[in-house]
Amino acid sequence: MSENKYHPIDCNYYDELVLLVMQKKECEIVYRNSAEEQVHVITKIADVFTKEKAEYLKLEDGQLIRLDHLISADGKENKLSCS
């Protein structure tokens, strides 16, 4: 995916991420880094938010992951929006 053009994710999946923030539990996060490599981390999700027309996941250590680079969270696969 292009680093500049954001591809929206499914609204229901976004809601699942918000639920993980509220539960404050550790979960496995899998995402693609800038080198297109898959990265796996076990951490808590601190926040999910929108900034400059893109959605982000903020991990407890402050790291930001753009949601269209997210592969899965807590075993649930990311789905891109149908729109």
CATH 2.30.30.100 fits 11-76, yes or no: yes
**Amino acid letter, 32:** R
Which of 37, 50, 77, 45 has its CA nearest to residue 63? 45
pLDDT, residue 11, reads: 86
CA distances from 78 to 59, 72 (A): 16, 5
Which of 55, 29, 53, 52 has its CA nearest to residue 42? 29
Interval 10-55: pLDDT, tens: 888 999 999 999 999 999 999 999 899 999 999 999 999 999 999 9
Q: Where are the domains of the chain?
A: 11-76
Q: How confident is the model at residue 1 (pLDDT cuts 50, 70, 90)?
A: very low
Examine the pLDDT at 4 and tell me if it is beyond 90. Answer: no
